[in-house]
């Protein structure tokens, strides 16, 4: 499969030349750069362009709120930013989603460029145009679809990323390979995690997501296969959220992949040998909590999932490696058996 990247996305090996060329083409009256304390420390020194304002927010999902947006809008307003200005979002998915949302709504929309600095944001949040914030405890509850003026992906930012964050982002790469790209899956299997070459793997993974999003930009059908691993994954992530051992999103998704494969096997959709191969691969990379939630612990989370209706819980499940179906209704007996 050849890589098919969105036209606004650049895989960069000379990031400063690329940023400055983009700035020249946008020709903004002012430039702000949005960072958190980690990307200010590790990533800002890697980029070189002239900015008028640095907006620093605290890191973490808990900051992805309307209050933080208010601070961003206030800083932009106080510094005299206009609709012809540019915001450069330098950070992970929190910075990209929220910075993009703040820019798209500031004076009905100013230009913005996302420079994703985590693996997760490079292979997932960078494509598909979803922007937004959490609201009243509900994830991504307020937002819009809007593509950035540009996204610049440079694997060099991953050097300073904590290993847990790297592995968390890698779960989305595993997902993309399993749902659409058997060759990529074989490539992942062929070498240890530590030896993977990000400059080859990232564009492949982006290409899978881009193909799916292009077929179904508003998630009416096929785009739902991107939820593979996420129905149980989200429920497990929510379960651990307020405990002393919260799981990262991708860690929960990796576990979700294992468990949803078991649903597919129990339903006669997917073969057990392939499911075991995937489980072995994932367990080799990730370490999971010893005490996992049961069906009763997470059934409320599962039912709340936006994808469900009164008939039961619907899943995106593999029918073979490289092929995924969606809207598969699974009855609660099979769920109870797998989540025992
Ligand atoms: N828009 C989409 O389609 C989409 C898709 C997937 C996820 N998301 C969103 O993305 C968010 C998660 O993104 P994330 O996993 O990148 O989390 P994040 O933005 O919270 O970043 C994770 C941590 O890594 C730090 N960090 C970032 N880059 C670094 C670097 N190069 N070196 C060292 N530390 C660095 C951050 O400061 C943070 O502490 C969620 O809010 C999720 O909803 C959006
Ligand atoms: Zn995800």
Place of tokens 């949040």: 125
Residues noted as catalytic: 108, 130, 172, 209, 219, 223, 227, 230, 234, 249
Q: What is the pLDDT along the chain (340 residues), one digit of tens a residue?
A: 578 999 999 999 999 999 999 999 999 999 999 999 999 999 999 999 999 999 999 999 999 999 999 999 999 999 999 999 999 999 999 999 999 999 999 999 999 999 999 999 999 999 999 999 999 988 899 999 999 999 999 999 999 999 999 999 999 999 999 999 999 999 999 999 999 999 999 999 999 999 999 999 888 999 999 999 999 999 999 999 878 889 999 999 999 999 999 999 999 999 999 999 999 999 999 999 988 999 999 988 888 765 555 667 999 999 999 999 999 999 889 999 999 8
Give 273 Cα–ligand 2 centroid separation in angstroms.
25
Give 36 Cα–ligand 2 centroid separation in angstroms.
21
Give 212 Cα–ligand 2 centroid separation in angstroms.
15
For 129-165, write each residue's pLDDT tens digit.
Answer: 999 999 998 889 999 999 999 999 999 999 999 999 9
Q: Tokens representing 128?
A: 């598909």
* pLDDT, the chain, mean: 95
Q: Which residues lie closer than 8 Å to 106 by C-beta, 6 or more apart?
A: 73, 76, 81, 83, 87
From atom 33 of ligand 1, which residue's Cα is the shortest distance away? 161
Task: Give yes or no for a contact between 205 and 176, defined as CB atoms under 8 angstroms apart.
Answer: yes
Which of the ligands is closest to the CA of residue 140? 1
Domain 9-160: assigned CATH number: 3.40.50.1970
Instruction: List the chain domain ranges.
Output: 9-160, 163-338
CATH superfamily of 163-338: Dehydroquinate synthase-like - alpha domain (1.20.1090.10)
Which of the ligands is closest to the CA of residue 57? 1
pTM summary value: 0.96
Q: For position 306, what pLDDT does the model report?
A: 53
Atom number, ligand 1, closest to the C-alpha of residue 131:
1
Q: For position 312, what pLDDT does the model report?
A: 75
Question: Percent of the chain having pLDDT more than 90?
Answer: 89
Give 120 Cα–ligand 2 centroid separation in angstroms.
8
For 174-219, write each residue's pLDDT tens digit.
Answer: 999 999 999 999 999 999 999 999 999 999 999 999 999 999 988 8
Which of the ligands is closest to the CA of residue 250? 2
Cα radius of gyration rounded to whole Å, the chain: 20
Q: Which residues lie closer than 8 Å to 166 by C-beta, 6 or more apart?
A: 119, 158
From atom 5 of ligand 1, which residue's Cα is the shortest distance away? 125
From atom 20 of ligand 1, which residue's Cα is the shortest distance away? 60
């Amino acid at each position: 499969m050849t890589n098919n990247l969105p036209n606004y996305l650049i895989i960069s090996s000379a990031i400063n030349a690329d940023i400055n060329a983009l700035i020249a083409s946008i020709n903004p009256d002012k430039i702000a750069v949005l960072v958190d304390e980690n990307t200010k420390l590790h990533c800002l020194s890697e980029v070189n362009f002239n900015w008028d304002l640095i907006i620093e927010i605290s890191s973490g999902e808990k900051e992805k709120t309307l209050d933080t947006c208010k601070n961003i809008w206030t800083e932009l307003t106080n510094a005299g930013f206009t609709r012809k200005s540019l915001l450069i979002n330098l950070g992970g998915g929190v910075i990209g989603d929220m910075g993009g949302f703040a820019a798209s709504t500031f004076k009905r929309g100013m230009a913005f460029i996302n420079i994703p600095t985590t693996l997760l944001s490079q292979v997932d949040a960078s494509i598909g145009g979803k922007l937004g914030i959490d609201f009243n405890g509900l994830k991504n509850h307020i937002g819009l679809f809007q593509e950035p003026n540009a996204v610049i992906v440079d694997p060099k930012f991953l050097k300073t990323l904590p290993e847990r964050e790297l592995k968390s982002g890698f779960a989305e790469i595993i997902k993309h390979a399993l749902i659409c790209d058997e060759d990529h899956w074989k490539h992942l299997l062929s070498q240890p995690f530590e030896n993977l070459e990000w400059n080859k793997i990232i564009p492949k993974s982006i290409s899978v997501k881009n193909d799916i999003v292009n077929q179904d930009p508003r998630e009416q059908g096929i785009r739902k296969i991107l939820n593979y691993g996420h129905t149980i994954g989200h429920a497990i992530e929510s379960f651990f959220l307020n405990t002393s051992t919260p799981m990262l999103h991708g860690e929960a998704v990796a576990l979700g992949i294992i468990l949803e494969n078991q649903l597919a096997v129990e339903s006669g959709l997917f073969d057990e040998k392939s499911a075991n191969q995937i489980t072995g691969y994932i367990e080799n990379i990730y370490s999971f909590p010893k005490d996992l939630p049961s069906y009763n612990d997470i059934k409320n989370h599962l039912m709340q999932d936006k994808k469900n209706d009164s008939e039961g819980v619907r899943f995106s499940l593999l029918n073979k490696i490289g092929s995924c179906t969606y809207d598969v209704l699974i009855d609660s007996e099979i769920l109870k058996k797998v989540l025992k």
